[in-house]
A and B are shown apart, each in its own frame.
Chain A
Amino acid sequence: MIDETSEQIRKRFLELNVDIELPEIERRLSDLTERFKVPIAEAERSVVSYFLRERKIKREDYYGTPQGAASSTRIADINQSEQWINLRAKVVQLWDSTSPAIDQVGLIGDETGTIKFVKWTKSNLPELVEGKSYSLENMTTDEWEGRFSVKMNRTTRIQELDEEVETQDREAQLMQIDDINQSGQWINLRAKVTQLWESEHESIDQIGLIGDETGTIKFVKWAKSELAPLEEGKSYSFENLVTDEFEERFSVKFNNGSSIKELDEDIETPDREAHLITIDDINQSGQWINLHAKVVQLWESEHESIDQVGLVGDETGTIKFVKWAKSELPALVEGKSYSFENLTTDEFEERFSVKFNKGSSIEELDEDIEVGFSATEFTGAMVHIQDGSGLIRRCPICNRALMKGTCMEHGNVDGIHDLRIKAVLDDGTMVQEALFNREITESVSGITLEEAKEMAVDALDQSVVLDEMKKRLLGRYYTMSGSILDRYMLVENVQLVEGVPDNGVDALLAEVT
């Protein structure tokens, strides 16, 4: 087989006036088929590619295949990424570019729909003007989280059209919050501002919740839209908002075309009588509840708007909680049991959490609530290592991991170095997230805390530790055991699983043949 294939490769190269020695071809082929167990057809392809590159020959000259061209399409028909396409479309909206690499970004539309576009600064393309229609040739499609976009690149041709491309109608309709079930719709609402949250980004002017008789919904008001500020507790008539969706939750966005008018009447928002329930009964978001629970863990807050975050537990299980800085509630202490009233439930990625707000109350209990845990074992491949892993620094007072050298609670402190890994293991049928503490991290990565510190000092960058851990751990199989807390296994034991069990191959072969 190898002899034959080698001869063919040599012959084809000779036709292109390139003389490659037969043993050289054979050696490369057999290395791939024997040591790397690659099928012969794949090995042939690989070896040909190698010599094409080495001898600077074009792939088309060897294989003789032509290149494809972009095809003309309509926006609603875009359902794949990495396609080369042409569109005739109107620039519906231009947004603020979020990066110097992006020259222009926004929405283009045709008769069938709208789609986001990105025009790279590097591509040196002419300026697009809002409201004008263009022929856009040689763009590529892209996808992120299930949404498509088109990218304009150096080879894209932009030509303004004399005629106007019709875009889909966007006449806003008065709706009730409960009826919002689509993103990208233009709507009007009559609603009360029930909560204002801290904006997490300077591009966002205001963010929070508005509500009407049927429910509440998150809103986002861009700084750019230059609209009058909203006040908590006041009712308004809102026109020309756009609905959006993220992770199955809807929100409404204000834009340049939106209008806000204060109402004299007070819009009623849904009733919210809280009931005492147990944690395993929490199966809906947006509910008002009371809990008797113990604070099992306090995690480091990832944002200054969050005062405390962690896990609370009762006899039936544990659940994540979030306490906003704004709600000005007393601090919770790890290990203490409390009666909590007027929390709201929330859901993200099918996991529930409870949120404290201004109306919540916290009262310490004398009793000690016993929390239900369970120990388990899991074997799988490490498919991901999350941010916040590797060499980190913790606050010497409260032990939280520091963010950019700062403790959320105690400000600028002289942090203490630590190692940890937040890993995701996957066995092909199930996913398990896992927390490795310093001891487990050292043993599994073979990097001690001292070595990690030296690596960081040498590189002037502590992310080198995480990079090295990824190199050593990702793609390998491990068996780990520990207790399950919320999404995470707190790992007490972990072992590398290498090779295959004796007889494993034969036993399986017997099943097939």
Chain B
Amino acid sequence: MASFAREVAYRIFARELSDTTVALERDPDDAYAPQYVLTPTGAKVNRVFVIGTLTEKEDIGTDTEYWRARISDPTGAFFMYAGQYQPDATRALTEASVPEFLAVVGKVSVYTTEDGRVMTSIRPETISVVDALVRDRWVLETSRQTLDRIKELEEGNCENLSMIEENYSMDLEQYRQMVASALESMQ
């Protein structure tokens, strides 16, 4: 039976999330099944917790506030959209300034643009301003958990192994390098 317990917030670097192109099919018999995306290192993700620097924010709404924001970590950038259905996140984005460290909890979705590019974005649930010390801990934790996933995947321990092989290059060395460069940025 599918689980309706609160979804864990995965720790994923921006580069890995922006490489993500696979949205898992929902159970067709279950209209309330959560949407998951499958990342190149094998994480099956509905929710993420990310910390990075707010590098852009823009209110693109017409009738109501609708914010588009970019949050950068040492490997790339997360894209997020927040509007009237995310009142806490919208208020936080209204108040936030560029650049500033933000901690974001949100849901991930994969979509295809008009010109055929597959993009990921985060719909934030909560956003808070944090300092460099908290950010450092996130980078270390995300490095740890990314390396753990790479190792599991290399050993073939992944429930969606065949789907990953079909959709991604399986060049896991690039993600090791990504982790290495993230860690080096902290030295």
Contacts and interface: CB of A to CB of B under 8 A. Distances in A.
B9 A513 contact: no
A184 to B, nearest CB: 8
Most chain-B Cβ atoms within 10 A of its Cβ — which of A42, A46, A147, A498? A42
Given A32-B55, A248-B1, A349-B5, A154 B62 contact: yes
B90 interface: no
A351 B115 CA distance: 45
Given A46-B99, A154-B62, A475-B130, A71 B55 contact: no
Contacts of A130: none
A509 interface: yes
Interface centre among B126, B129, B184 (most CB of A within 10 A): B126
B180 A122 contact: no
B134 A146 contact: no
A71 B8 contact: no
Contacts of A80: 23, 109-112
A146 B128 contact: no
A38 B137 contact: no
Interface string B39-73: 00000000001011101101000110000001011
A31 B99 CA distance: 9
A378 B76 CA distance: 30
A68 B29 CA distance: 33
A71 B180 contact: no
Chief secondary structure at chain B's binding surface: mixed
A37 B53 contact: yes
B99 A474 contact: no
A428 B81 contact: no
Contacts of A144: 85
A431 B5 contact: yes
Contact of A147 (B4, B32, B115): B32
A39 B3 contact: no
Contacts, number: 200
Contact of B6 (A35, A155, A424): A424
A476 B98 contact: no
A381 B49 contact: yes
Interface in A22-62: 31-32, 35-39, 41-43, 45-46, 49-50
A125 to B, nearest CB: 12
For B128, B138, B145, B180, the residue with the greatest tally of chain A CB atoms inside 10 Å of its CB is: B128
A248 B49 contact: no
A349 B34 CA distance: 13
Contact of B63 (A122, A145, A350): A122
Given A83-B111, A146-B26, A505-B186, A49 B99 contact: no
B6 to A, nearest CB: 5
Contacts of B17: none
A50 B51 CA distance: 21
B35 to A, nearest CB: 6
A343 B140 CA distance: 49
Contact of B184 (A143, A147, A509): A509
A230 to B, nearest CB: 27
A349 B185 CA distance: 41
Contacts of A83: 111
Interface string A90-128: 000000000000000000000000000000101100000
A476 B130 contact: yes
B70 A46 contact: yes
Given A146-B34, A383-B105, A509 B99 contact: no
Nearest to B181: A39
B137 A39 contact: no
Contacts of A214: none
A506 B143 CA distance: 12
A153 B63 CA distance: 8
Contacts of B29: 181-182
A404 interface: no
B111 A505 contact: no
A68 B70 contact: no
Interface string A148-188: 00000111000000000000000000000000011110000
Interface string B159-175: 00000000000000000
Nearest to B50: A475
A406 B135 CA distance: 42
Nearest to A381: B49
A120 B49 contact: no
Nearest to B131: A498
Given A49-B56, A498-B137, A512 B9 contact: no
A511 B147 contact: yes
Interface of A: 31-32, 35-39, 41-43, 45-46, 49-50, 68-69, 71, 80-83, 120, 122-123, 143-147, 153-155, 181-184, 245-248, 348-351, 381, 383-384, 424, 426, 428-431, 470-471, 473-477, 497-500, 504-506, 508-509, 511-513
Given A153-B62, A350-B1, A505-B187, 17 more contacts: A32-B55, A36-B72, A42-B77, A43-B72, A46-B70, A46-B99, A49-B55, A49-B98, A82-B111, A247-B4, A428-B11, A431-B5, A431-B7, A475-B51, A498-B137, A509-B187, A512-B176
16 contacts: A38-B53, A42-B76, A80-B23, A83-B111, A144-B85, A184-B31, A381-B49, A381-B103, A428-B145, A473-B128, A475-B51, A475-B130, A505-B187, A508-B147, A512-B176, A512-B179
Interface of B: 1-11, 23, 26, 29-35, 49, 51-53, 55-56, 58, 62-63, 70, 72-77, 81, 85, 88, 98-99, 101-105, 109-115, 121, 125-126, 128-130, 133-138, 140-141, 143-145, 147, 176-177, 179-180, 183-187
Top 8 A-B pairs, shortest CB-CB distance? A475-B103, A68-B114, A46-B55, A42-B72, A36-B53, A474-B128, A475-B128, A349-B4
